[in-house]
Amino acid sequence: MRPHVRFAAPQGETHKNGLVRLSYSDMEERLEGLSKQNTEQYLRDVVEIFAARLVHYWPEDGQFDQDIVSNVRENWVLTFLSYSEKTLVEAGILDKYRFSRIERQNWQDITKKGVGLCSQVSLAAADFLVEQGFKVNMIGLDGHVVAMVSEGAEQYLLDVDMNVLLPFGLDYAENNPDGVIEAYTLVGHSKEYSKKIATIYSPEGNFLSSADSYYPTVSILFTFLNISVWFFPLSILIFGFIVLYYRK
């Protein structure tokens, strides 16, 4: 929906629609202090906190950004694969970056890195809300991704990347563009921009999935990578013990 231009937005400076960017520790503190007495207000606060923390940025297809790559403390296997891939791309053996551009899967890792496009930002808030006991779905629109919370008979759409809570579900949004426009203008988006956004909520091409199955292939990959982090060192240790045992 918006150009993928890097915007550093240091902590304390404004970004998006006038939000002051939060540090990771400030974000944690604000999340811990939220009250769940009023569901709509709670969700609105969660949306604003995640939107304030996460800058709208992700490297382009042909771009390698070392600040985005998984570091050794996150997953040393993925770090190794990312830099190996970089060497192969630069040598012309591979045509694009894949490992270095993999989006993270849990809200802590996403918010620690502090950047992401609509899918990554929505997934971060969705993962957090699932952890808090909410039923959350991810919704793919026409070039945009939002989350939807279902609480009893009530539904709420969360466009976290744009700091918008829509107090209704997808069915209503698809058939009531004026309601969508009102929700976006309420937080400072222009009327013209809000009208453009409303068009992507039209029914054509929308799909819905659970928060934990939005990226099934990536989820499987991360499971394998997390096992690999321990498998290789343990294999070396076991091999070493076997060698020492038979040398006696």
Mode of pairing for the β-strands spanning 145-151 and 135-140:
antiparallel
CA-to-CA separations, 73 to 41, 79, 109, 231, in angstroms, rounded: 36, 9, 11, 16
pLDDT for position 5 = 39
pLDDT for position 3 = 36
pLDDT for position 218 = 66
pLDDT for position 9 = 53
Q: What is the mean pLDDT of each run of 10 residues along the chain (248 residues)?
A: 44 74 94 95 97 91 85 84 90 87 88 92 95 94 93 94 95 95 93 93 82 68 74 74 67
In whole angstroms, what is the distance from residue 178 CA to residue 22 CA? 32
> CATH number of the domain at 14-58+103-212, please?
3.10.620
pLDDT for position 7 = 43
In whole angstroms, what is the distance from residue 151 CA to residue 161 CA? 22
Largest CA distance in the chain: 80
pLDDT for position 242 = 74
pLDDT for position 223 = 74
In whole angstroms, what is the distance from residue 146 CA to residue 137 CA? 9
Which residues share a beta bridge with 55? 115
pLDDT for position 26 = 95
pLDDT for position 29 = 96
Reported pTM? 0.83
**86, 64 contact by CB (below 8 A):** yes
pLDDT for position 245 = 61
Taking alpha carbons only, the member of 25, 3, 27, 23 closest to residue 13 is 23
Q: How far apart are the first and last CA of the chain?
A: 66
Phi, psi of 247 (to 5 degrees): -85, -10
Which residues share a beta bridge with 154? 151
pLDDT for position 177 = 94
pLDDT for position 12 = 60
